[in-house]
Amino acid sequence: MEVEETGETRTSWYVAPGETHTVPCDHAGKKRKQDSAPEPVIRIIEDDEEEEEGELVSDHMKDSEEPSNKRVKPVAKSNSLTGVITPVKTPALKRIGQSISRSISFRTEARPLPPAPIRSRTKASSFPRRRNSQCWSDTVESHDLTAKEIKRQEVIYELTQGERQLIEDLSLVKKVYYEPMLKLDIMTESELGQIFGTLDSLIPLHEDLLSRLERLKGSEKTVGEVGPTLMNWFPCLEAYVTYCCNQVGAKALLDQKKQEKRVEHFLRLCQESSFSRKLDLWNFLDLPRSRLVKYPLLLKEIQKCTPPDHPDEDTLPDALELIQSIVAEVNKKTGEAECQFYRRGLTYLEESQRAPEIQQSRFLYCHGELKNNKGQRLHVFLFELAMVLTRPGEGREGAQVFQVYRQPLPNALLNLEEIPDGEAGGGSTFRGAFTGGNDKVKNCFRVSSRGRPKAHSHSLQANDSFSKQQWITCLRQAIVQSRDRTAQTSQSQLSPHSDPALYHMAELSLSSDTEMADHTSR
């Protein structure tokens, strides 16, 4: 699923599944003019900077008492270097920078320059708020735990803090985004309901877990047995099925509404505000899904740090199995919802394009933009049973639609051929569209339909080598699974002792199209 959006080509992979912060710093002010004679300067020293300023004046006076018998650069030239040194908020580093600046610009042939006035500091509230990265060890004064037990407490503390931060973020989304947009009539209640889905109902679930974890803390802020608590709470996460299934349509509607100037202006102002930490609305809406897939990872870490004789040793494996099954179910249902959403968005020029394999598909392997040998950008969908090339467009009310291009290709009949980088293949049209006229091509592959005319062959180019490899991996998987399904449905002659799961395993080679056809015909 798509978690973020950039200006580059986007590709979504159906694969079951962190945050950067800007460190604020002050910037140097304007350069000081060099006067022929020093003028008295009125200096205002803040209370918290008296000690540092006194140090500066002391060093300055010391410099002025030294005889100037060394050759120095003219002030007009050396003074320009002071703007290169950017003062920072760390006092030690700031003093180093001031010392270097003084050695360059405060010494003249006979007279020192007057000290610079102290500038008031920029207010910190104008910068984005940062998360508190405190560890469990920082919250206790002393302990006599082993290194393994300390690690266990750290992971449990991370679990607890993650719940607290998620509750804060979801409450912020409701207060700062949903309620103002509804009150200001930036979007209708129906549109907001579709975009935010059941987000509001998730807050009490995580508040419940947070309160349970807090009650487990002992007198020394240590948590003993955590397995039964998680085992009893995890079934509540089935509510995520509804929320995550709604996200596909929610993202599409949000992207559509961002085209409206009023919506775009409101969301931009929110993103630039300190509370957002430079995250956009969709980052916040996707936080629950990101949190869901993190539970199995946290449980594995807790289990790894749990000694064999600990009470959690019996319950943690069951809790881990439970949460993994819930995540798998959410992924399955989300994949089905995504498949249905994009199936509804397909438009057909001819009835013959309505391949039954499209309607029978239950999920998407992947989808994204690729270029064909004419240089056209296509949005390609690899459904469970068919590969569909489309041209993206805009339908009624600004909704995005996908017009089916040529005939869909059933996965069971697909042949896949990788085109090595630099190979001059496919004719001059192919080279001209992909490379601007030279003889080298990159990140390309070819798909065709076995037993059909060459008109059903498509040479496609991915955005980069990573995207190309993802497409090839998904196509190979789709081909093998579709042919296995066809073979089982038609009750092909298989050895009674052979494993159906290993059937067609030799077909994984990209250059084995002939062998695959021979193997299937036998």
Q: Where are the domains of the chain?
A: 146-345, 348-423+440-488
For residue 15, the model assigns a pLDDT of 43
For residue 221, the model assigns a pLDDT of 76
Q: What percentage of residues in the chain have a pLDDT greater than 90? A: 47
Instruction: Give the CA distances from residue 204 to residues 237, 279, 515, in Å, rounded to whole numbers and listed in that order.
Output: 12, 23, 57
Average pLDDT of span 29-47:
44
Given pLDDT bands bounded at 50, 70 and 90, which one contains residue 455? low
For residue 43, the model assigns a pLDDT of 44
Provide the sign of the torsion angle of the four alpha carbons 145, 149, 151, 155, taken in this order: negative
Instruction: Give the CA distances from residue 56 to residues 51, 63, 78, 96, in Å, rounded to whole numbers and listed in that order.
Output: 9, 11, 20, 11
Average pLDDT of span 451-455:
61
**Residue 467 phi, psi (nearest 5):** -60, -40
Given pLDDT bands bounded at 50, 70 and 90, which one contains residue 141? low
Which of residues 171 and 496 earns the better pLDDT score?
171
Comparing C-alpha atoms, which of 291, 162, 306 is closest to residue 223? 306
Given pLDDT bands bounded at 50, 70 and 90, which one contains residue 117? very low
The Cα 434–Cα 370 span in angstroms is: 11
For residue 465, pLDDT over 70 is answered with: yes
For residue 197, pLDDT over 80 is answered with: yes
To the nearest 10 degrees (0 to 180), the angle between helices 295-304 and 312-344 is 160
The Cα 437–Cα 210 span in angstroms is: 61
For residue 421, pLDDT over 60 is answered with: yes
Q: 496 with 400: CB under 8 angstroms?
A: no
In sequence order, the β-bridge partners of residue 416 are 447
For residue 81, the model assigns a pLDDT of 37
Question: Chain-wide mean pLDDT for the chain?
Answer: 74
Q: Which amino acid is at 63?
A: D
Pick the CATH number of 146-345 from 3.40.50.150, 3.40.50.300, 3.40.50.11810, 1.20.900.10: 1.20.900.10
The Cα 204–Cα 196 span in angstroms is: 16
Q: What percentage of residues in the chain have a pLDDT greater than 70? A: 62
Q: What is the pLDDT of residues 331-381, one digit of tens each?
A: 999 999 999 999 999 999 999 999 999 999 999 999 999 999 888 999 999
Average pLDDT of span 131-159:
76
Helix ranges restricted to H, 400-464: 427-435
Pick the CATH number of 348-423+440-488 from 2.40.50.100, 3.40.50.1820, 2.30.29.30, 3.30.365.10: 2.30.29.30
Q: 61 with 113: CB under 8 angstroms?
A: no
